[in-house]
Every structure is written in C-alpha cells, then in structure tokens.
Amino acid sequence: MFATIRLILVTLVGVLLGLASAWWAVGNIRFDEGSSIGQWSLLDDGAKANPYEAVRVARRGGGGLGPSEGVELITEVDADGKPLEASCAYLIAGPMPQGVLWTLTISDRDGHLPDNPARRFGFTSLDAMTFGPSRQVRISIGREVRPGDFVATTGLSSLRLTLRLYSPTLATRAPGRDQLPSVTLLGCDEGKPS
Amino acid sequence: MIDTGLRWFAATLCIAGLTHISAVLLAPSHSRDLAFTGIAFGGGEGGLARVDGSNTSADLDPAFLNAVCRFDAETGPVRLTGVMPGTYWSIAAMSDDGRILSTLSREDLRGTDLDLLVGRTATLDAARQSAGIASVDVMSLPADSGFVLVRLFAGGLDDRSLAEEAFEGLQCRPALAN
C-alpha cells in the first residue's frame, strides 16, 4: 500500500517536474545562446532542427519572417541583462541597420499590444526620428509620457521588444551588435524594482 | 533506507526527463493555439481574410496589413492575383502549425502585377494545365494544406491607403476552379 502511494507520488512529481522544466526551457529566449546578438535574440521560424525553437514557433502561432523576407529579433531584457518590467520606463537608443525597412514593436511576452489611444505600438524606419550622421534612434517607452519618440506601455503586464528587419540580405548575414540599439532603464514606478 | 530513497529520486528524475523530452517533441504537432485556424475565410474579399491581434494568435507586425488565404487537399493549389503596392510587401506560405514553407517578397517579382500559383509541387503542373494558365510565378510546397500570408506595409497613413487599395484588388482562389 505504502509502495503504491509512493509510486503514484514519484510519477506525479516526475511528470510535473518534466512539464515545468519544458515550459521554462521553451519560454526562456536566452536558452539558445547561439542565436543572440548582444541583448537581442534572433528568431528563426525555420530552425526545425532545434526542438525548442519548433515549440516556440508553435506557441507564437506562426507569423514569423521567412528567409527572403528578413529577420526578427526580440529582447525581454535590458542592457544589464535584467528582465524588462512593465512598470519601468526604458530608452531604446543606438543605430539601426541602414538602408532597410525596420519596425520596432512593443508588446507583452504573449504578443499583446499596448492599450494606448494613439494606437502607437512602435516605430518604423519611416517615422522614427534619427540623430547624427549614423542616424541613431532614441525611443522611450513607459507608462508616463516622455518627450521625443515615445510609446505608452499602458495595459501591459510584461514587456517584449520585437525588431523586424525587412531585408533578405540581413536574413543570410545577421546584423552585428554595433548595428543594433540597446535598451537601458530610465526609471520605475514607486514600489517596483529599479 | 538511503539506497531506497536514492532509487525513488532517480526514478523521479527519469520520469521528469522522459516527460520533458516528450512534451518538447510533441508540443508543435499538438498545439491548439494554431495561427489561423478558426478564421472565417468565406467573408473575406477575394478569398482573403484580414488578420490582426483581434482574430489570430499569430505574432504579426502591427505596422503591416496582414491577410491570409487557406489552401488544402480539397481546394488544391490556389492562385493569388492582384496589383501589389510600391511599398514593401511579402508573401509567405506556411504549414498548419505556423512553419514557413516558402516566401516571396517585392525584390523577387518584376513589376507590380502578381500572378502566383501556390500548392504542393505534384499538383501545380496539373493545375496549370487544367486552368490553362500559361505563365505565372509558382510557389511549390512540400505540403497539401496550409495558409498563404500576405503582408503589406502600412506604417504611415499613405502606406496604409496604398496597402488597403492593394488588398481590395487581391484575389486568392482555387486554381482548378478558374
């Protein structure tokens, strides 16, 4: 009797442990270090050889970019490697790959967009302000309005930044770390981590 | 006693490992959160249905006007026709589980007139002959069913009106019915 109960308990704990570790491994975008460029992680919907990537594609429901379309980079951490918090404000600053159409989208980790009246979910290479000869961007995000290019993160419980570069050339040769902007913390709401 | 405890611990780890591997390998084919299943294609113009965050779980770029068209073994290959805008656009054929099978973008097409046949490789020739199609671009796929996703850049007001105009003129029909 005791052995049967122990067998059931071990099986249950084992299954729960297995499911939890699979969930963690699939949800952790830094798990695959081979496809990281600085703080950005390169998404590859065609990487079916990696079973974790295959699950990530299925979980995202598809819609990723193919090789002749471009590349998709996401980050859920700031330049210091700390997870992005929806209660904090951040500055996305630095260069963008030149001569390509890019879009930067702010969402939560499930892909839900911010609930802002302006329906401003990000910026593109055609509407972002650029500074200096290297045409660097300065985009701030947060719950409180800030001057310059700004995206309100109202309604989001977590943060994910998605940078899509529409260029088949970049799909075959990913951009370097010095071609991508970095995300730095500006401040957090009181009572929240900073 | 310690030996017994270690045996149970090892058994727990073995079960956890097997569950982990099974879950990761089986998840893609058993995902219920598929991109475009459940979308009403009948109501869409020209066989295309517009998709965004309100009717799909797919992670699509909100700076684009996105539309999908379904193809399966019953419909056979589909023929996508229309006039594409001067702004950026792309077309992706994807399997039911969201995996990209083939893509085409503005750089791949000469001019703006689109006439594209999409379907399983073996059925494309039959469709071309049956429909009397002489010259079209083809997207041959290793799958009988899936979706064609059209992305039209609509980042600015002008871009959006161009994308809307192009979308209105797009037709996605079974090639054998033409």
Is pLDDT above 80 for A186? yes
Residue B86 sits in the same domain as residue B12: no
Query: B65 at the A interface (CB within 8 A)?
Result: no
Which value does ipTM take for this structure? Answer: 0.79
pLDDT given at position A119: 84
Contact (CB, 8 A) for B60 and A63: yes
How far apart, in whole angstroms, are the C-alpha atoms of residue B90 and residue A65? 9
Question: Any residues with CB less than 8 A from the CB of B156 and at least 6 apart, and which?
Answer: A124, A126, A127
Please give the residue range of the domain that contains residue A26: 1-31
Residue (of B138, B117, B140, B130) closest to B176 by Cα position? B130
Q: B88–A112: do the CB atoms touch at under 8 Å?
A: no
Report how many domains make up chain B: 2
d(CA A138, CA A91): 7
Q: Looking at CA atoms only, how far is residue B122 from chain A in angstroms?
A: 23
Residue A117 amino acid letter: P
Nearest to B127 by CA among B144, B110, B114: B144
Structural domains counted in chain A: 2
Region A125-129: mean pLDDT is: 90
Give yes or no: residues A17 and A67 share one domain: no
User: Is pLDDT of B177 > 80?
Assistant: no
Q: How many CB pairs under 8 A join A and B?
A: 167
Kindly state whether B36 is in contact with chain A, defined as any CB-CB distance less than 8 angstroms. yes
Q: Distance between CA B163 and CA B170 in Å, rounded?
A: 11
Query: Per residue in A128-166, pLDDT tens?
Result: 888 888 789 999 999 999 999 999 999 999 999 999 999
Tens of pLDDT along B45-78?
Answer: 567 889 887 777 788 999 999 999 988 888 888 9
Chain A positions touching B19 (Cβ under 8 A) are 14-15, 17-19, 22
Spatial contact of A58 and B97, defined as CB atoms under 8 Å apart: yes
Answer whether A167 touches B (CB < 8 Å).
no
Q: What is the pLDDT of residues A21-75, one digit of tens each?
A: 888 887 766 555 457 888 898 876 555 567 777 777 666 666 788 878 888 899 9
How much is the CA Rg of chain B, to the nearest whole Å?
Answer: 21
A76 with A16, same domain?
no
**Residue B146 region by backbone torsions, left for phi larger than 0, else alpha for psi between -120 and 50, else beta:** left
Cβ under 8 Å to B: A residues 92-111: 101, 103, 105, 111
Supply the DSSP symbol for B146: E
Residue B37 lies in a domain: no
Q: What CATH number corresponds to the domain at position B173?
A: 2.60.40.1610
Kindly report the CATH number assigned to the domain that includes residue A99: 2.60.120.600
The pLDDT of residue A147: 92
Q: Residues B82, A121, A36, A33: what is their CA dihedral angle, to the nearest 10 degrees?
A: -110
Hey, what are A161's tokens? 């930044």
Give me the residue from A22, A60, A68 closest to B59, CB to CB: A60
Residues B71 and B13 in one domain: no
Residue B102 to residue A113, Cβ atoms within 8 A: no
Residue B90 has what pLDDT?
92
A45 CB near a chain B CB, below 8 Å? yes
Q: Is B9 found in the same domain as B60?
A: no
Tell me the chain B residues in contact with residue A103 when contact means C-beta distances shorter than 8 Å: 61, 63-64, 155
- φ/ψ of A5, rounded to 5, equals -60, -40
Domain membership flag for residue A194 = no
Pair (A112, A127) in one structural domain: yes
Say which residue the tokens 């059931």 belong to. A8
- Average pLDDT value for residue range B164-177: 86
Domain coverage including residue B4: 1-30
Dihedral (CA of B153, B156, B157, B159) sign: negative
**Beta pairing class for B78-83 and B171-174:** antiparallel
CA B45 from chain center: how many Å?
17
**Burial of A133: CB neighbours in 10 Å, binned 0-12, 13-18, 19+:** exposed
| Domain-located, residue B146 | yes
Q: Specify whether A44 is located in the same domain as A17.
A: no
The per-residue pLDDT for range A65-105, each reduced to its tens digit, is 887 888 889 999 999 989 999 999 999 999 998 888 999 99
| B24 and B59 inside one domain | no
Q: Which residues of A touch B104 (CB under 8 A)?
A: 68
**Both A103 and A154 in a single domain?**
yes
Q: Does A60 touch chain B (CB under 8 A)?
A: yes
Q: Is residue B109 situated within a structural domain?
A: yes
Q: Are residues A117 and A55 in the same domain?
A: yes
Residue A23 shares a structural domain with residue A49:
no
Residue of chain B nearest A161, judged by CA positions = B61
